[in-house]
Chain A
Amino acid sequence: MEMVFIAAALIIGLGALGAGIGFGLLGGKLLESTARQPEMANQLQTKAFIMAGLLDAVPMIGVGIAMYLIFVVAG
């Protein structure tokens, strides 16, 4: 039973780590590119928003599976 909780913790933790690194890079590049070309700010923000959607798809599914493991399989 403990292995289920460890698996859920790994899924949520690694998903959050990946999303955190990805969003950090995305936000950093967005600020950097906006500082270089302020006139492109709106287009860059739109592209960053689309990439944010791609970035958080896997952690979202991971959260769903982890909650299933915690509350249904172990619970």
Chain B
Amino acid sequence: MNRSSRAITYVPLGKWLIIEMAVLLILSLLWLLESCLAGYSALIGGLIFVIPNAYFAHRAYRYQGARQMHLAVSNIFRAESIKLALTAVFFAAVFTLMEPVHVPALLFTFAVMVVLGTALRWLIRPRPQR
């Protein structure tokens, strides 16, 4: 049994969140050059991804280790369901409650954040620590 397999995995949730928020702010500032509404919509579009994703990452690592793997898997399933439901609810709330909204800025920023979130998990992986 090597050292990394015995270690507890540290999930860089804070680092992911900071990078995501920094990119979101940069994208919002870029959309702000077009109009104030576009910048605001871009910020909202990014937050629609960041908040459910942070919940998913937090909940998916609630249990670790071989003895609790069935709990970890069930938590991943529940977290994914809640993440998709939260995303749908946030989009519905924005489209019904927020008037007016710059739809291209909202959807473009959301799509960029989805791709960035996946790339971040791949590039900055959770590290095993003793």
* A19 proximity list for chain B (CB < 8 A): 80, 84
| Contact digits for B5-49, partner A, Cβ 8 Å, 1 yes 0 no | 111110100000000000000000000000000000000000011
Interface contact tally, CB-CB below 8 A: 117
A32 to B126, CA, bound (A): 22
List B contacts of A38 (CB < 8 A). Answer: 66
The contact sample of 15 A-B pairs, CB cut-off 8 A, is A23-B76, A30-B72, A42-B4, A46-B125, A49-B11, A49-B76, A52-B56, A53-B121, A56-B84, A57-B117, A61-B110, A63-B91, A64-B110, A68-B95, A72-B103
Given contacts A59-B84, A60-B114, contact A49 B5 (CB under 8 A): no
Decide: A31 and B69 in contact? CB cutoff 8 A. Answer: yes
**50-102 of chain B: CB within 8 A of chain A:** 56-57, 60-61, 64-66, 69-70, 72-73, 76-77, 80, 83-84, 87-88, 91-92, 95-96
Contact B125 A57 (CB under 8 A): no
